[in-house]
């Protein structure tokens, strides 16, 4: 059985002043690729992940869209995520 998963996370530090958006890509419980808004680009953890990170980082439109997720996805939904 093969399992493929993408997981998006928002980390709120001090309310909405410091927000971190992360998107993780996992295959068979092994994280192979990640986008971190603090870093600002994709990072690969396996040879397959490194290849995809190079491909995704070469697309400035995709990178800008991922960087904007902090405002569009995290800050916009702050009231939903917090109790």
- The CATH number of residue 70's host domain is 3.10.320.10
What is the pTM for the complete model shown?
0.85
| Amino acid 17: pLDDT | 86
Q: How many domains does the chain have?
A: 1
pLDDT tens, position by position, 24-83: 999 999 999 999 999 999 999 999 999 999 999 999 999 999 999 999 998 888 888 777
CA distance 48 to 27: 11
| Amino acid 78: pLDDT | 87
Strands (E), the chain: 4-13, 18-27, 30-36, 41-44
| Amino acid 33: pLDDT | 97
| Amino acid 8: pLDDT | 93
Domain that holds residue 31: 4-81
Whether residue 15 has pLDDT greater than 90: no
């Amino acid at each position: 059985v093969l399992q493929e998963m993408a997981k998006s996370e928002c980390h709120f530090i001090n309310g909405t002043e410091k927000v971190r958006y992360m998107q993780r890509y996992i295959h068979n419980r092994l994280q192979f690729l990640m986008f971190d808004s603090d870093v600002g680009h994709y990072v690969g953890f396996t040879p397959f992940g490194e290849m995809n990170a190079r491909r995704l980082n070469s697309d400035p439109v995709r990178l800008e869209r991922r960087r904007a997720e902090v405002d569009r996805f995290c800050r916009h939904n702050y009231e939903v995520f917090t109790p």
